[in-house]
Amino acid sequence: MNQEQTNKALSVLLIDDSDVDNFINKAIISKEKCVDSIIIKSSGMDALAYLNSVADNPDTHPDVIFLDIRMPRMNGFEFLDEYIKLPEELKKHPQIFILSSSLDPVDSENAEKYDFIKGHLSKPLAHHNLTELLLKEA
- pLDDT, greater one: 7 or 26: 26
Measure Cα distances from 60 to 56, 69, 127 in Å.
9, 24, 28
CATH classification code of 3-134: 3.40.50.2300
Single pTM value for the model: 0.88
Domain ranges of the chain: 3-134
pLDDT at 5: 44
Mean pLDDT of the residues in the chain:
86
- Tens of pLDDT along 47-92? 999 999 999 998 899 999 999 999 999 999 999 999 999 988 888 7
Given a cut of 80, is residue 6 above it in pLDDT? no
pLDDT at 61: 92
Does residue 124 have a cis bond before it (omega within 30 degrees)? yes
- Tens of pLDDT along 106-122? 877 888 889 889 888 88
Continuous H helices in 2-135:
3-7, 19-30, 44-53, 76-83, 88-91, 105-111, 130-134
CB 135 within 8 A of CB 6: yes
Q: Which amino acid is at 132?
A: E
